[in-house]
Amino acid sequence: MDGWSQGALDETLEKLARVGRPIAEATGLPNEAYRSAGFAAFERDQVLARTWTAVGVGRQVPAPGDACPVSLQGLPLVMVRGQDGRIRVFHNVCSHRGMVLVEEAKSCGRLIRCPYHAWSYDLEGGLQATPKIGGGERHSCPGFDKAKHGLKEVRSTLWCDTVFVDLSGRAAPFETFVAPLAERWRGFDWSLLRHGGAESHFELTLACNWKLAVENFCEAYHLPWIHPGLNSYSRLEDHYDIALPGHYAGQGSHAYRPSLGDDQQAFPQFPDLPEGWDGKGEYIALLPNALFGLHADHLFVVILLPEGPDRTRELFEIYYVGDAAVGPAFAALRAANAEQWRVVFEEDRGVVEGMQRGRASPGFTGGAFSPAMDGPTHCFHQWMAGALIEGAATKGRPELAVVG
Ligand code: FES
Ligand SMILES: [Fe+2]
């Protein structure tokens, strides 16, 4: 239980049962769900590891041979783009003495070489070289079979440039997982998505649990007080709730009409835009941790990486529609759009970090939900509570899934 006793688990399970009540009577997740290291490890192994959890984006490994490490609540993984263009995700650990293989994003060329004793793996994880393993200049040794000591691959897939992993190897197929959201947003040609480049990316480190960032993203309720600027061109009154229990939660705006400084210029839109999408935005958390913001002319992707119970790394990426949108003619407009979103996400920092500090108070025992305004947040809490209860009931750690 990683420092989390059975008694503590039982106590938390009792509180989780209250989350599932009808919204007017429900309380939210208990404080320990945001503060306890033992809970965070349990959550990683019994919830995040059993479903499709986002760990990064393809943009981080643009070319064959590129590798980018990522840590999921302390569990080290590495994304690698192969010669075939495919992204694979491995446990970021050497088969020899367990050294972390890749410490920072870089190009590995054709081989991923361990910095300790230089064992080297190809981009598909096969162990190719074991220098001096036999002593002297002998690079092989009797009884040691390289084929048995490759990297451990994790089941992974790419959707809207987002890299998802199933650490258990036993989650439902990704297509099943994503189907409800893919269906909601059918009609958008994702093959046209192009990353906007360096200025269309930013990263925030937040002093809060990752779940608070999901909750805050799911609601529009705070707009008038936290985002007066955003609320001027995408008003709270124009928003609607989005919640599909078990799948996704968020909110949308019927009237997203920002001014980016140059009203003469507009980004290209998705062709055959589905009805009603001109001037609309939808902000949806695909549970557990991938957040998407879709508009007629851009999609943003936010990945929340839990780094500890009270620390979250937030990756933010913007994608436009077609090659022209990411060309020089739109550079200034892209920069203005990215800056506008960066300001919005920075504005949220104060509240997500403040809610984290608030959870140190015994005076807060899960709080309350507004039945009118907090439906999507409650939807997320119900999903988490259900997944935690199921994880506790079935226990057991997810097995390593070695692909291929
Ligand atoms: S730990 Fe990697 S080569 Fe020894
Ligand atoms: Fe916000």
* pLDDT tens digit sequence for 98-137: 999 999 999 999 999 999 999 999 999 999 999 999 999 9
Ligand 1 centroid to Cα of residue 133, in Å, is 11
pLDDT (average), residues 322-340: 96
Ligand 2 centroid to Cα of residue 216, in Å, is 6
State what percent of residues in the chain have pLDDT above 90: 89
Ligand 2 centroid to Cα of residue 229, in Å, is 11
Q: Is the CB of 99 under 6 A from ligand 1?
A: yes
Ligand 1 centroid to Cα of residue 94, in Å, is 6
Distance CA 52, CA 289 (A): 9
Ligand 2 centroid to Cα of residue 77, in Å, is 30
Q: State phi, psi for 326 to the nearest 5 degrees.
A: -105, 15
Q: What is the DSSP letter of 324?
A: G
Predicted confidence (pLDDT) at residue 282 exceeds the cutoff of 80: yes
Q: Is the CB of 116 under 6 A from ligand 1?
A: yes
229 or 341: which leads in pLDDT = 341
The predicted structure's pLDDT at residue 398: 52
The residues with which 166 forms a beta bridge, in sequence order, are 155
Number of H helices, E strands in the chain: 9, 18
User: How far, in Å, are 54, 234, 303, 364 from residue 161 at the CA level?
Assistant: 10, 27, 11, 39
Map residue 15 onto helix, strand or coil.
helix
What residues flank ion ligand 2 with Cβ within 5 A? 348
pLDDT confidence of 262, banded at 50, 70, 90? low
Check the CA dihedral 139-79-2-354 and report its sign: positive
Ligand 1 centroid to Cα of residue 117, in Å, is 5
Of 78, 92, 97, the one to substitute when testing ligand 1's pocket (max ligand atoms within 8 A of C-beta) is 97
Q: Is the CB of 117 under 6 A from ligand 1?
A: yes
- Average pLDDT over all residues of the chain: 94
pLDDT confidence of 399, banded at 50, 70, 90? very low
Q: Is the CB of 119 under 6 A from ligand 1?
A: yes
Asked whether the bond before 376 is cis by omega within 30 degrees of 0, the reply is: no
Q: Is the CB of 121 under 6 A from ligand 1?
A: no
The predicted structure's pLDDT at residue 6: 80
Ligand 1 centroid to Cα of residue 48, in Å, is 29
pLDDT confidence of 259, banded at 50, 70, 90? confident
Token pair of 119, please?
């064992």
Q: Is the CB of 144 under 6 A from ligand 1?
A: no
Ligand 2 centroid to Cα of residue 385, in Å, is 23
Of 117, 128, 151, 152, the one to substitute when testing ligand 1's pocket (max ligand atoms within 8 A of C-beta) is 117
pLDDT (average), residues 347-359: 98
pLDDT (average), residues 310-325: 98
Ligand 1 centroid to Cα of residue 113, in Å, is 9
Distance CA 144, CA 129 (A): 12
The predicted structure's pLDDT at residue 397: 55
* Rg, C-alpha atoms of the chain: 22
pLDDT in tens, 10-43: 889 999 999 999 999 999 999 999 999 999 999 9
Nearest ligand 1 atom, CA 95? 2
Nearest ligand 1 atom, CA 114? 2
Closest among 310, 279, 313, 314 to 300, alpha carbons compared:
314
Distance CA 109, CA 117 (A): 18
Q: How many C-beta atoms lie closer than 10 Å to residue 7's C-beta? A: 8
Q: Determine the length of the chain.
A: 404
Distance CA 346, CA 341 (A): 9
The predicted structure's pLDDT at residue 257: 83
The predicted structure's pLDDT at residue 404: 39
Q: Is the CB of 114 under 6 A from ligand 1?
A: yes
Q: Is the CB of 96 under 6 A from ligand 1?
A: yes
pLDDT (average), residues 45-70: 97
Predicted confidence (pLDDT) at residue 1 exceeds the cutoff of 50: no
Of 90, 93, 94, the one to substitute when testing ligand 1's pocket (max ligand atoms within 8 A of C-beta) is 94
The residues with which 239 forms a beta bridge, in sequence order, are 253
pLDDT (average), residues 151-176: 97
Full set of structural domains in the chain with CATH: 53-157 (2.102.10.10), 171-382 (3.90.380.10)
CA angle 356, 357, 363 (to 5 degrees): 105
State what percent of residues in the chain have pLDDT above 70: 96
Q: State phi, psi for 41 to the nearest 5 degrees.
A: -70, -40
Predicted confidence (pLDDT) at residue 400 exceeds the cutoff of 50: no
The predicted structure's pLDDT at residue 10: 87
Ligand 2 centroid to Cα of residue 153, in Å, is 36
Ligand that comes closest to the CA of residue 97: 1
Predicted confidence (pLDDT) at residue 402 exceeds the cutoff of 60: no
